[in-house]
A and B are shown apart, each in its own frame.
Chain A
Amino acid sequence: MAEKNMVEAIHDAMFEEMKRDDRIIVMGEDVGEGGVFRATDGFVAEFGEERCMDTPLAESCIVGAAIGASLNGIIPIAEIQFADFSHPAFDQLVSEAARLHYRSNGTWSCPIVVRTPYGSGIHGGPYHSQSIEAFYAHVPGLKVICVASPYDAKGLLKSAIRDPNPVVFLEHKKAYRAFRQEIPDGDYTIPIGQAETKREGSDISLITYGMMTHHSLKAAETLEQEDGTSVEVIDLRTVSPWDKERVLGSVKKTGKALIVYEDNITGGFGAEVAATIAQDAFDYLDGPVTRVASPDVPISPYSGILEEYILPNPEKIAEAIRKLAAY
C-alpha cells in the first residue's frame, strides 16, 4: 500500500497497463513531455515516443485517429488536455466512436479511451471548468466515467482500458492533487457501471458523483452532528451506464432523494437520475425529488468570488438536506 494522489493513480494505471499490453498507446497534446497535469510523466523514457505520442493540436483528429488505430490492433488512450477543448471532437465521439459498432451491426468495434480533465473550482474560467458528462451520457454506445478520488480513478481507468467499447473518462481536475489515498500494490479494477455507497444513512439518499461527492460527504457529516439527520451518500462513479439498482434500493429505504451535481442544472445528468427515481420509486417517496446544481450560467467564472457563488458547496448542500429532511 502506498499513498497516492489522483494524478499519480491515473499515471500508474496507464503505466501498468502499458507494461502489461504493448498494444496500448497514449496520444495527445503535450503528453510526450508528461502532460500539463503530469499524468504521463516519464512515459516517453519508458515506452518511447511512438507509444506516448505527441500529436498536432487538433482534437478531432486525435480522437479520429485513435478510432482508426483501434480498428487495426492498437488500444489508444487519447488525452484531450481539458474537457472544454473536447468539443471539436464531438463529431468523432458521437457520430463515429459511439455509432461504429451499432451501424456495422456489431462487426466493427472501437476500443478507445478518451481521458480528459473536467470540472470547476480551480479558477479555470469558462474554458477550463466545464462539466461535459451530460453530453456524452445522452449518447448510446459510449460509456462515461466521472472520477474524483485516487482509488476509484485507478481501478476504473484500468477497466476502461480493458473495455472493448469507447469510454469517455472524465477526471475531476480539482481532485488531482487535493488529497491522497491508500492504493493497493497489486492490480485491481472497479467494474464500470457500479456506484459506491460512500456513507451509509437512513433518512435521505444523496446521489452524486465527481467532486460533489466530497462536498456532499462534508455536508452529511455536518447534518449528522448538528441535526442528527442520517444521510446516505452514493457516488455514481459511472454515469453511463449508471447504477440504477443501487440508487433505487437506497431511495426505497430512505424515502427521500437529493441529487447533487456540479454542472448547470437544466438537462444535467442529475435530471435523468431524478426522472428515474420519480418513475420507479414513486410509491416509496416521502418528499420531492430534489436537485442541487449550478445555476444555468456558462460554468464557471474566473473570479473566485463569482465561482464560489455559482458552484454547489457543502453549505448549500447542507441547506438542501435540511429542507428535504423537514419536508
Chain B
Amino acid sequence: MAITKEAIKTFGLTEEQLLEMHYKMLLARAVSVRQRVLQRMGKGPMTFSGEGHEAVQVGTAFALRPGRDWVFAYYRDVAVALTVGMTPVEILRGFFARRDDISSGGRNMPSHFSHPDLRIVSGSAPIATQIPHAVGAALAAKLRKLDEISVAYFGDGATSTGDWHESMNFAGVHKLPMVFVCEFNGYAISVPWRKQAAIENVAVRAAGYGFPGVTLNGNDVLEVYGAMTEAVKRARSGEGPTLIEAKTYRLQPHSSDDDDRRYRTREEVEQWAQKDPIVVFAMSLHELGVLDDKSEQELNDRVNREVDEATDKVEQESTPEPESALRHVFVEGGASNG
C-alpha cells in the first residue's frame, strides 16, 4: 500500500501519531542494537533481536488500548512492549537482570516482557505456549462481558505447534475477542518456511478454523496498522478472531548465540535490509512532509539520548538479593480466592 495522504486519512492518524509510530520504531531498534553491543562488551549473557520486525510490532500495538487490552508477546516483541508503554529503562533492566526489573526481577531471560499494569503478560521460552493464554484471557473477557481484547504474538515457527492449532480452533469455536499476529520472518531459527509448511501463506489456515486470515507486507507499518484496526474492530464487536500474517524479516541472527551465516545468504539479508521498515517509513514521512532532515536528526538524537541515559541509569542499579531466588514459588501471604 502506498503511503499517501489519502490513505493516511482513512486510518484517521494525525501527523503527531505518525511521528509517534516512527519514534517507537526507532526506539525499539536502538534498544535492540544497544543490547547487542552490551552483550558483545560482556555486560550480559544473552540478547534476542527484534530488528526488522518493528513495523509489524508498532503497527499492531498502536491499535490497542494500553492497560486494557491483553498482550501475549514473545521474545522479539520489544517494539510491542515499547509501544504499549514500557520504557527503555524497563527493557534494559531485563537485559542487566536488575532487582527492579518489572518483567521478572532478573529471573527470566531478557526480552521476556511482562508488565502487569500494561497487561503485558509474562511469557516463557517454549514456543507458542502463550497463545492458549491469550485465548483464555479473551474467553474471560467474553464471559465477563468486558470490552477487552487479547492479542497473541508469535513467529512463523509457532504455527507448527499443537498449541497454535488448538488455540486457533478454540478461538474460532467461541468467536473470541482476539487477534493472532504472526510475525512471519520465514525462518524458525534456521529452518526455512518451505521445510515448515507446504503452503505459501499461513493465513489460509484461518479459514479452516472459521475466521479470516490476511497476509500483508509486514514492513509497511501503515498497512499493518490498517489491518490491525480492522481486526481489533471485529474482535471488539463480537465478530471473532482474525489471523494477521505480516511478512517481514529478521535482520539479525536469532540470538547472540546464533550465527545466521550458516543458513542465510548475505545477499538475502542485504535484499531485506533494503526494505528496512524504518527506512521505508522515514522516506514516506519525508514525502508527506511530516519529517524533514532537521526533525529526523532531532528524533534520532532524542532516541539515542534516551537509550544512553537508560543504559547509564540501569547499569548502576542494584542486582537482586541472592536469597530472593527462593521467593515467589507460591503466592505469599496467604492470599485466597475464598
Contacts and interface: CB of A to CB of B under 8 A. Distances in A.
A165 B337 CA distance: 10
A72 B108 CA distance: 22
A248 to B, nearest CB: 22
A163 B329 contact: no
- Chain B interface SS verdict (over half): loop
B90 to A, nearest CB: 13
A21 B337 contact: yes
Given A61-B166, A71-B133, A95-B126, A105 B139 contact: no
Contacts of A68: 72, 132-140, 150
Contacts of B114: 104, 107-108
Interface string A26-50: 0000000000000000000000001
A108 B329 CA distance: 11
B93 to A, nearest CB: 11
Interface in A175-226: none
A278 interface: no
Contacts, number: 161
B116 to A, nearest CB: 5
A100 interface: yes
Contacts of B146: 72
B330 A101 contact: yes
A16 to B, nearest CB: 12
Contacts of A76: 136
Nearest to B173: A56
Interface in B88-129: 101-108, 112, 114, 116, 121-122, 124-126, 129
B143 interface: yes
A313 interface: no
Interface in B37-88: 70, 72
Interface residues of B, number: 52
B336 A108 contact: no
A88 B126 contact: no
Interface string A49-78: 011000110101101111111111111100
A50 B175 CA distance: 13
Given A96-B124, A107-B116, A60 B166 contact: yes
B126 A61 contact: no
Interface in B153-191: 162-163, 166-167, 169-170, 173
B170 A106 contact: no
A120 B166 CA distance: 30
A189 to B, nearest CB: 8
Contacts of B173: 56
Contact of B139 (A23, A65, A101): A65
B104 A65 contact: no
A162 interface: yes
Contacts of A107: 102, 114, 116, 122
Most chain B CB inside 10 Å of its own CB: which residue of A25, A95, A105, A161: A105
Contacts of B132: 60-61, 63-65, 67-68, 92
A268 interface: no
A60 B162 contact: yes
Contact of A164 (B116, B131, B331): B331
B327 interface: yes
A72 B144 contact: yes
B323 interface: no
A103 B124 contact: yes
Contact of A69 (B102, B103, B108, B140): B140
A171 to B, nearest CB: 20
B136 A70 contact: yes
B337 A88 contact: no
5 contacts: A58-B169, A65-B139, A104-B104, A105-B101, A107-B122
In order of increasing CB-CB distance, the 9 nearest A-B pairs are: A68-B136, A64-B132, A105-B105, A68-B133, A72-B140, A61-B166, A162-B338, A106-B328, A65-B136
